Structure 1
Amino acid sequence: MALYSAAAAVLAGLERGEGGLKRLVYNSGFPHVRQLYALVSETLRYASVLEKLLDGAALLQAEKKLAPQLAKVLVYDLLFGKGLKCGGRWKALARRHRARLEAELARMKVRYKVSRNEDLLAPEKAVSAAASQVPRYIRVNTLKTCVDDVIDFFKRQGFTYLGKAASVEELKSLSGKKFLLDLHLPELLVFPSQTDLHDNLLYISGHIILQDKASCLPAFLLGPVAGSHVIDACAAPGNKTSHLAAILKNKGWSVHSFSWVLGSAFRQIFAFDVDPKRVATMNTLLTRAGVTGCQLAQQDFLTVDPRDPRYSRVTHILLDPSCSGSGMVTRGPGEEAAPSAERLQALAGFQRRVLNHALSFPALQRLVYSTCSLHQEENEDVVQAVLQEWGSAFRLVNAFPSWPCRGLAAFSGAESCLRASPAETLTHGFFVAVLERCQEGAATPRWERAVGDSSCFWGVP
């Protein structure tokens, strides 16, 4: 019953515009976020069908105390999902109307001349063509295993290993129980798009991480050498943090609490997020992945003092701030696909502030700025504005020259940035820029001298 109530609350929050799907799920307090996210996503995918069923069966008229959001969730799981899992009065209520709902579903199939439930989905609610062609990527967690062992494991499970991919076109042709080694990233395996590995033993034990290829680029391109001290400024849910730990080979001390402790200078990774639920989720993920050299902090990164001695040795920062999320091909229908100009302006202003703040850490040598946004306002425009503020102190690195999709020609040098897209790279939409320090002792940027304001809360401004 708790699952359905939580799902109904997320649907109501989406309708009221209180945030995106992922944020509302993470903030729900429900302990099994993956289960909740899946139920809400599928209910949203069938939303137009469910509305017709509820109208045709007159369920809300018959049950006046039943909220529409809860009705959709119950009817989805009753007719399209794995069957009702809850007990109590909601289960009894749904089953009481089951015959009428099934009859209405049968009439809909006849009316639309289809035989399968999936064929009832309206085109705008179906999985997009872009999403369906993006493969299932898994990152081998080298803190616990190695690529060869994972390949052998899947071969024993009946999968066929085809070797290293030679082109993006090879990834498109994957089908059935076949998989490849990615052509760009050495610890990334590629499976057909509909491969479900959530119940796989390697995933449950943290030996593999289900992570889109584009999301692997920031840590890969930051590339800190062993012994480096790193900040992950917007760390939750923790996939990029665990990737950093794997690159650093976990040379830090174990973390036993969220609070700062004596000796925290020995931590190699400082990971920040302001939301306590997201920090708790991140702690679970990192523990499962075997990450030990990381210090988690429930703190707004903009309130972190760059001059604090704890960060005096931080040379690398990964910054993946809040953004519109417009590049996510698996976005739920309730998420904001086309943000307003005002919304983009607010996001870009926040992103400029947090990027400026990150560049002010005195020992910083290399920074990766990334978003899962398609909008120039959040990507090239932010990088250009901040580089202008810092003058000759930092420069753009021509990162990953073999990557096929480059930054938009918004300013001279923007081609050094990377973009990713379903069409060109078979990934989610993504943007990555790599910045390096050019000289020591750069002057304080104009933005800090003028305002000195770090009062913005971490998250959506």
Structure 2
Amino acid sequence: MKNNARKYVLDILVDIEKNNAFSNIAINRALKGKDIPNLDRRFISELVYGVLENKIYLDFIIGTFSKMKMKKINVKVLNILRMGLYQIIYLDKIPEFAAVDESVKLVKKVDYRSSGFVNGILRSFLRNKKDIKVPTMKEDKIKHLSITYSHPEWLVEKWMKEFGQDFTINLLKANNETPKLSVRTNTLKVTKEELIESFIKEDVKVFPDTFVKEAIHISHLGNIENMEIYQKGFFQIQDESSMLVAHVLAPKPGEFVIDVCAAPGGKTTHIAQLMKNNGKILARDIYNHKLKLINDNAKRLGIGMIKTEVFDAKELDESLLGKADKVLVDAPCSGLGIIRRKPELKYNKKPQDIEEISKLQLEILKNASKYVKKDGVLVYSTCTIEKEENMDIIKKFIKEHNDFEMVDVNDTLPSNLKSEEKFLQLYPNTYKTDGFFICKLRRNNG
């Protein structure tokens, strides 16, 4: 099956590159409904993410040995080369000759004329791999780190200026690590202990030691959606850092909560869970198909208090002014805190993207703030580590809205995440979570 598995990998990588698809969506789309053994599913996932995480380094090697300019290499052929090199360099279980042989077989299926080219590049690398010369730190720090850890130069340079050399190197390393898969216990249906027992019965490896009380880390599982305990709504896939948002919001049963950028609904359903499925949540997004995800998950989890609506958070809904006890703005962002999960993000973003999205974030926050009751709470969160999208937004907002004040989030955090700051900023290299920002604001009575 491995040979077919490599064809799946190729199709997924091409989909990501040509269509700017998210890796998780591209994988799900390619494998959905296919009868693929769990071992092959894991191999496909490992190879897709491995190539994406190391793409700049792999392309550096290809560029070293190819007489053809990178831009002229067919996208399928280029990705077969990346796949072959990744297997040779990083996958000890696959013999070098097998990686070359399977790459040549695969390229013959998609572009027969390029088989000699692929064979030549991979064999040249095997003969000369000790001679690969990446610029040293002394020669060019930015280039060295960019190639070694496969992050674009502009991003390495930005982080070096903001965080310093040691922190940046640790961050780059952490971004290339495989994150644990976190799930949230649906306490409306089961206890954490009962869910752990259910996973163990399914031969799933469980790591219950987590920051968030309802979180569990798991591994060694196949297609989650086929699991009976998933279909019964015993858990929801969600990173721990994302789970912290609902705890900071601290909703109470009977309250009215608005989630202005709700899809795909992980935080929305968690809020409902903390409210014990008692009260009202208005969950909005700009796409109908994304709201369907929220409705489907809510039904599976046994939640009946969420109302979904298509609505653009950039617009102001005057019918909701001053109506909500709690409002969540989980703002659209650059996503540079979740590179571990979506490594393609580091190649898709440009410096101007951060500037543009920060304007949108402030606009959404201003509108959402108008829905908050006097003495009500507004939480702003992002899955990025860029200050322009995080504290800079909060500072600008508070400067223009003196009826809001920051609330210390530490009272709602686990003891090992508490800090001297009133807000929470997580980095992949500090707590092995996604990079996440959470800030809490209260509307005062003035």
**TM-score scaled by length of structure 1:** 0.65
Are residue 154 (structure 1) and residue 199 (structure 2) matched? yes
Aligned equivalent of 1:199: 223
Instruction: State the shift of 1:432 in Å.
Output: 0.7
Alignment deviations for residues 374-405 of structure 1 (CA, whole Å, 9 cap, x no partner): 222222221122223221x2222111245556
Offset, 1:417? 0.8
Pairing partner for 2:207 from 179, 198, 207: 179
Give ranges in structure 1 of 5+ residues lacking alignment.
15-20, 84-88, 115-121, 160-176, 253-267, 408-413, 443-461
Sort the Cα spacing of 1:280 and 1:102 in 2 relative to 1 into closer, same or farther, 3 A: farther
The alpha carbon displacement at 1:317 in A equals 1.1
Counterpart amino acid of 1:300?
A: D
Q: Match for residue 14 of structure 2?
A: 8
Aligned to 1:92: 109
Q: 1: CA distance between counterparts of 2:45 and 2:260?
A: 24
Q: Aligned partners of 2:388, 2:59: CA distance in 1, in Å?
A: 37
Deviations 1:297-340 (A, max 9, x none): 222023241424xx875211111111222222414245358752
Partner SS for 1:301: coil
Query: Contact 2:327 / 2:371 at 8 angstroms: preserved in 1?
Result: no
Query: Which of 33, 37, 45 is residue 53 of structure 2 equivalent to?
Result: 45
Taking the aligned partners of 2:110 and 2:336, their CA distance within structure 1 comes to 38
Over 3 Å counting, the alpha-carbon distance change for 1:95 and 1:77 in structure 2 is farther
Conservation of the 8 A alpha-carbon contact between 2:186 and 2:235: yes
1:226 aligns with 2:253: yes
2:242 to 196, 204, 215: 215
1:414-451 deviation line (CA, Å, top 9, x unaligned): 92111112233221211111112221xx5xxxxxxxxx
**3-state SS in 1 of match to 2:276:** coil
Q: 1:67 to 1:101 in 2, by over 3 A?
A: closer
Which amino acid is the alignment partner of residue 199 of structure 1? N
CA deviations 1:208-243 (Å, max 9, x no partner) are 223221111111111211121211111122211221
> Who is 1:453 aligned against?
none
How big is the shift at 1:178?
Answer: 5.6
Aligned residue number for residue 140 of structure 1: 185
Q: Residues 238, 67 of structure 1: CA spacing in aligned structure 2 closer, same or farther, 3 A cutoff?
A: farther
Aligned position for 2:173:
129
Q: Which has the higher helix share?
A: 2
Residue equivalent to 1:307: 319
Q: Is the 8 A contact 2:16 2:26 kept in 1?
A: no
The answer on 1:111 being equivalent to 2:156 is: no
Post-superposition shift, 1:110?
A: 4.2
Distance 1:343 1:280, change over 3 A: same
- 1:217 is paired with a residue whose SS is helix
Q: Secondary structure at the match of 1:10?
A: helix
What is the identity percentage for the equivalent residue pairs of Structure 1 and Structure 2?
A: 23
Aligned runs of 1:283-362 on 2, under 5 Å?
Answer: 283-308=295-320, 313-330=323-340, 331-333=342-344, 335=346, 339-340=350-351, 342-361=352-371
Letter in 1 for 2:438: V
AA in 2 matched with 1:180: P
AA in 2 matched with 1:429: G
Cα distance in structure 2, aligned partners of 1:232 and 1:398 = 21
The 1:7–1:351 alpha-carbon spacing in structure 2 relative to 1, beyond 3 Å, is same
Question: What's the C-alpha RMSD, in Å, of the aligned pairs?
Answer: 4.5
Q: What is the rounded CA distance, in whole Å, between the counterparts of 1:196 and 1:233 in structure 2? A: 35
Does the aligned pair in 2 maintain the 1:27–1:277 contact within 8 Å?
A: no
Letter aligned with residue 433 of structure 1: C
TM (normalized to structure 2)?
Answer: 0.67
Equivalent in the alignment of 1:371: 382
The change in CA–CA distance for 1:72 and 1:271 in structure 2 (over 3 A counts) is farther
CA 1:153–1:56: 2 relative to 1, 3 Å: same
Alpha-carbon distance change, 299 to 33 in structure 1, aligned in 2, over 3 angstroms: farther
Deviation of the 1:73 alpha carbon: 4.7
Given the alignment, which residue of 433, 436, 439 partners 1:427? 433
Question: Which stretch shows the higher mean deviation, 225-234 or 204-213?
Answer: 204-213
Q: 1:244 to 1:196 in 2, by over 3 A?
A: farther
Indicate how the Cα distance of structure 1 residues 334 and 301 shifts in structure 2: closer, same or farther if over 3 A, else same. closer
Equivalent residue, structure 2, for 1:455? none
Amino acid at match of 2:214: E
Corresponding position of 1:417: 423
Deviation at 1:352, TM superposition (A): 1.8
- The aligned residue for residue 243 of structure 1 is 270
Q: Which amino acid aligns with 1:396?
A: M
Kept in 2, the 8 Å contact 1:134–1:426? The answer is yes
Q: How many residue pairs end up in the alignment? A: 373
Instruction: Provide the rounded CA distance (Å) in 2 between the counterparts of 1:102 and 1:59.
Output: 14
Output the CA distance in 2 between the equivalents of 1:204 and 1:67.
44
**Range 74-83 or range 278-287, more displaced:** 74-83
Q: For 2:187, what is the secondary structure of its paired residue?
A: coil
1:191-217 per-residue CA deviation (whole Å, 9 max, x = no partner) reads 5xxx35452424465432232211111
Separation in structure 2 between the aligned mates of residue 208 and residue 385 of structure 1, nearest angstrom: 38
Name the stretch that deviates more: 394-403 or 142-151.
394-403
2:284 is aligned to 272
The structure-2 alpha-carbon separation of the partners of 1:281 and 1:181, relative to structure 1 and needing over 3 Å to count, comes to: same
Give the Cα separation in 1 of the matches to 2:63 and 2:355.
Answer: 40
Output the CA distance in 1 between the equivalents of 2:316 and 2:194. Answer: 41
Asked if the contact 1:26/1:278 (under 8 Å) is kept, the reply is no
Instruction: Find the aligned partners of 2:247 and 2:28 in 1 and give their Cα distance.
Output: 32
* Residue 398 in structure 1 maps to residue 426 in structure 2: no
Q: Distance in 1 between matches of 2:372 and 2:382?
A: 24
Q: 1:181 to 1:406 in 2, by over 3 A?
A: closer
Task: Please give the secondary structure, in 1, of the residue aligned with 2:182.
Answer: strand
| Closer, same or farther: CA 112–37 of 1 in aligned 2, 3 Å | closer
Q: How far apart are the structure 2 equivalents of 1:96 and 1:49?
A: 22
